Amino acid sequence: MSQKEKRCVFVALPKSSPVSEIEMYKLLSEAEIDLSTVKFLDEIDDTLGMGGNDTLIVLLADNEVHDPKVEAAALTAARAGSCNIIGVWAPGQTGKGIHPSALKFATAQIEWNADKLKAEIGSDCAHAFETPDGETAEPSEIEPNECD
């Protein structure tokens, strides 16, 4: 795979994230993600160049329901054709169902777990939707997105 075709992993942390970039890097490293491909999104413009091979990881927190940066990143990833838009619950969250930040564009919503993150990034069919404690999230009235 050429450098141009190399998959990038974009990470969108909400404004008042309960997780630091260092903690997120630790999770990504444990999931065996090449950290040289990781880009944290500080501004909405940072999503420029996102492509269909890329992955977007969105941190989910109970107190962050709508974050413009996170929503713009998810929309950009969906428009680029990314089949990996993964919501990852921050540790210590108690939410139920599908988080509003994952509702429109996410292909998965998982607990803070490196093995599950690795499975979601490496598979076209894992697509779990879970609560923060790993239980199956009850579906909402809007079905999660599936890639063709």
Give me the sign of the Cα torsion angle 79, 83, 88, 94. positive
* Tokens 């709508």, located at residue: 66
**Span 128-142, mean pLDDT?**
77
pTM for the model = 0.84
Query: End-to-end distance of the chain based on CA atoms, in angstroms?
Result: 22
28 confidence band (pLDDT: 50, 70, 90): very high
Residue 43 has pLDDT above 60, yes or no: yes
Q: How far apart are CA 85 and CA 97, in angstroms?
A: 17
Residue 127 has pLDDT above 50, yes or no: yes
Cα radius of gyration rounded to whole Å, the chain: 14
Q: How far apart are CA 78 and CA 7, in angstroms?
A: 15
Q: Nearest-CA neighbor of 86 among 40, 119, 62?
A: 119
**Span 73-100, mean pLDDT?**
90
6 vs 32: which has the higher pLDDT? 32
Supply the mean pLDDT for the chain: 84
Q: How far apart are CA 84 and CA 120, in angstroms?
A: 7
Tokens (6 digits) for 92: 């210590």
pLDDT digits (tens, 9 = 90+) for 95-125: 888 898 888 889 899 999 999 999 998 776 5
pLDDT at 132: 92
44 confidence band (pLDDT: 50, 70, 90): low
Q: How far does Cα 33 stand from its chain's mean position?
A: 13
